[in-house]
Amino acid sequence: MRYRNGIGYDVHRLVEGRPLVLGGIVIPFEKGLDGHSDADVLSHAIADAILGALGEPDIGFWFPPTDETIEGISSMKILKKAQDLVEGKRAFIENIDSTVIAEAPKILPYADQMRRKISSVLSLPAEDIGIKATTNEEMGFVGRGEGIAVIAIATIAFPDVEDERR
């Protein structure tokens, strides 16, 4: 096997009148994330990490914000597209790790639910998905509670040509 890593980063502004969706789970909060899709910043960062490990363009290529037919799309469909591309290359996601950066709400009480939801879409055991959280120590737009950012990494295993012959 050979292994490749990809890094994903995403950020969305918090706004009134939208649900807060992270990792495919609606989290009770007075604000939600603004975006063309459901603005699930965690799923977007994970999808971009997977796409990066595959050497593919980012999610904006596959799901352009100018495409009105996908407005409001569930980010689980974005993750599914990333998984389909992994399978198309006969590869396997080994693990995902991510850090959600937000002043509020508290993320960790929902981490297990998010892991299970992401696991079901990526066909990856939940224990191979890391979801951590931190604050920005009240600095910058995240620190002022104006948005949420996520950084993620994905490790993908590709069978070697020699392995395929066995």
List, in sequence order, every beta strand (DSSP E) within the chain: 2-15, 20-22, 25-27, 32-33, 92-101, 129-134, 147-158
Phi/psi at 104 (5° precision) = -160, 155
Contacts of 69 (CB under 8 A, 6+ apart): none
Q: Tell me the average pLDDT across 9-34.
A: 98
pLDDT band at 165 (very low <50, low <70, confident <90, very high): very low
SS3 77: helix
What pLDDT, on a 0 to 100 scale, did the predictor assign at position 160? 83
Domain ranges of the chain: 2-165
**DSSP at 127:** G
> How high does pLDDT run on average in the chain?
95
pLDDT band at 136 (very low <50, low <70, confident <90, very high): very high
Tens digits of residue pLDDT in 69-81: 999 999 999 999 9
CATH superfamily of 2-165: 2-C-methyl-D-erythritol 2,4-cyclodiphosphate synthase (3.30.1330.50)
